[in-house]
Amino acid sequence: MHPPALTLKDFCDAYRVCRETAYQQIRAGRLRAVKLGRKTLILRADAEVWAASLPELRTVGREQASA
């Protein structure tokens, strides 16, 4: 069973982002965070919403790029 909240370090490890990127996402309002004393926590549900909202990577095949 996973804990309902992630520390910022756990979030960064799980989603492979650096601490600065996480804070940028929080400041921009794209990632919701809560405080518990001095700790910044990200609820697992909020992390999943954030991940689902990321844009899809669209690639163009080589044959289309040269046309």
18, 60 in Cβ contact below 8 A?
Answer: no
Task: Please give the pLDDT value at position 63.
Answer: 61
Q: Are strands 39-43 and 5-7 parallel, antiparallel or unpaired?
A: antiparallel
Question: Whole-number mean pLDDT of the chain?
Answer: 92
Q: Which residues pair with 6 in a beta bridge?
A: 42
Residues 34, 26: Cα–Cα separation, whole Å: 10
Task: Please give the pLDDT value at position 60.
Answer: 78
Angle of helix 8-15 relative to helix 19-27, nearest 10 degrees?
Answer: 110
State pLDDT tens for residues 30-59. 999 999 999 999 999 999 999 999 999 988
pLDDT of 7 over the 80 cut: yes
Q: Against a cut of 0.85, is the pTM above it?
A: no
